[in-house]
Amino acid sequence: MARTLYLHIGMHKTGTTSLQRALAANKAALAAQGFAYVTGFNDNNLHEFVGKREEEVLADSGFHLKKREEFIKVLTAPTETKIIGSSESFSYFFRRVAIQNLEKLLRPHFKDIRIICYLRRQDQLAISHHQEGAKPQDKPAAKIYGHSPTALPQHTEMSPLYLDYATRIGHWAVVFGDAAITLRIFDRSLMKDGDSITDFLEVVGLDRSAFEPTENLNVSMGMARTKLGHILNELVDHQQTKVRILANLPDEGKLLPRREDAVKYVAQFAEGNRALNARFNITSQPTLFSDDFSTYPEAGNELWTEATADSALRGMAKVVNTLTQGQLPLTVQDLLDGARAVSGKAPETAMKFLKAALILRPDGEVVKKRIAALKERLSDLRKARGGPETPDGADQPSPKRPMKAKTGARRRAGGKAKSQNSPASPATPDSAT
């Protein structure tokens, strides 16, 4: 049975989430036209089969194929002869060897393989993609662009790996052949009916008239959330705190650079864009993309104004107030009671409780007196067992109980305790790209 695979590889920020949602919601309409849309087990795309090789979010070597056997089973399970698969994570295949391994795996199962990719002018894509790195969840975009609180990201060693389309798409063309590559521009003036979903369906030969409408997803963040999100991701580790702060910030107004800066940003990729267009004849524009930058203001809006700063500060103050007005899981009294309860058998743990109480109440005289008394007791215990001095509250084995030489009576100097009081880190929900 001769099969054709249409593999949609992105890019990011070109309507991929909306397209995947539409295809997944209209599998019956696809089947009626001889097509099947395949997905992983947990989402509307093939993301779970594409991922990192190292422990980092995204290494210089890029992503590669994972779970190969399951991947092929998913692609070959349908009875239809025309198969569509989609994941913008394929755009993180920075090395040709990863694409070669993919081709070797696919070729025995498909007579024809079509690679479809939507391109977006580098300034527009970088602004939108960089914005992803401002979200609380750890995103590969943050690894590529860093966390500068500006509309256009600062240049990094990794950004050309993604934004140099001529080189990156060139790897796919070398492996699958130029004729197998379909490149489209994510520009409403160039897409069928000004819509990316309709445009994609036309590319693969599908009629959209039988499709059920679906909503547009993955909308952009506002100016304050984008700027502060980058700062939070750089300085704050606690995910739920970041989520709560961003949720209380205004979400109006897109963060935009100066027009001049956008023009300069695209200029660094101009030669590659021309070469790519000459090779694949994508548009009638020699430079590949439109040279209209009029959507950008002359001055940009990357600096805080009195109004935007005031609004952002009020949102942060609201979260701080929530965290300090009795809505924490433990109060000062809870911590004092906990210290009292464990001080006999685990004085070091008791010190940790008291220091946590001091953070909540820095001027608390009762807390300070309890800490001073416990410090004195810990010092006596260390002298009694002849061990080295350690910082107050540091984890260390509890001293053994010394025996009186003559009477054998036990003098209690502490005891062993298994600490079960360290609060677990709260789970952070995953978020789809």
Q: Which domain holds residue 346?
A: 332-385
208 inside domain: yes
100 and 157 both lie in a single domain: yes
Q: Are 211 and 116 contacting, i.e. CB atoms less than 8 angstroms apart?
A: no
Residue 325 pLDDT: 59
Residue 428 pLDDT: 37
132 inside domain: yes
The span from the CA of 177 to the CA of 185, in Å, is 20
203 and 318 both lie in a single domain: no
Spacing of C-alpha 427 from chain mean position: 15
119 and 246 both lie in a single domain: no
Spacing of C-alpha 392 from chain mean position: 38
Using the 3D structure, point to which of 168, 195, 219 is the last residue of a domain: 219
The span from the CA of 422 to the CA of 305, in Å, is 42
313 inside domain: yes
The residues of the chain scoring below 50 in pLDDT are: 390-433
Using the 3D structure, point to which of 292, 323, 354 is the last residue of a domain: 323
298 inside domain: no
Residue 413 pLDDT: 40
Question: What is the domain-level CATH number for residue 208?
Answer: 3.40.50
53 inside domain: yes
Beta strands in 110-206 (DSSP E): 112-119, 181-185
401 inside domain: no
107 inside domain: yes
115 and 87 both lie in a single domain: yes
Convert the pLDDT of each residue in 87-146 to its tens digit: 999 999 999 999 999 999 999 999 999 999 999 999 999 998 888 877 777 678 888 888
114 and 156 both lie in a single domain: yes
Query: Which residue carries 């109440």 as its tokens?
Result: 361
45 and 130 both lie in a single domain: yes
Residue 262 pLDDT: 95
Residue 334 pLDDT: 80
Query: Which residue carries 């000459």 as its tokens?
Result: 278
Instruction: With both helix axes pointing from N to C terminus, report the angle between 122-132 and 259-267 in degrees, rounded to the nearest 10.
Output: 100
69 inside domain: yes
Residue type for 17, please? T
350 and 311 both lie in a single domain: no
**C-alpha distance from residue 345 to each of 219, 341, 372, 381, 422 (Å):** 55, 9, 18, 12, 16
Closest CA to 347 of 367, 386, 383, 373: 373
188 and 308 both lie in a single domain: no
Tokens of 369: 């007196």
207 and 336 both lie in a single domain: no
16 and 133 both lie in a single domain: yes
Residue 219 pLDDT: 65
Total count of domains within the chain: 3
228 and 187 both lie in a single domain: no
Using the 3D structure, point to which of 323, 358, 373 is the last residue of a domain: 323
182 and 225 both lie in a single domain: no
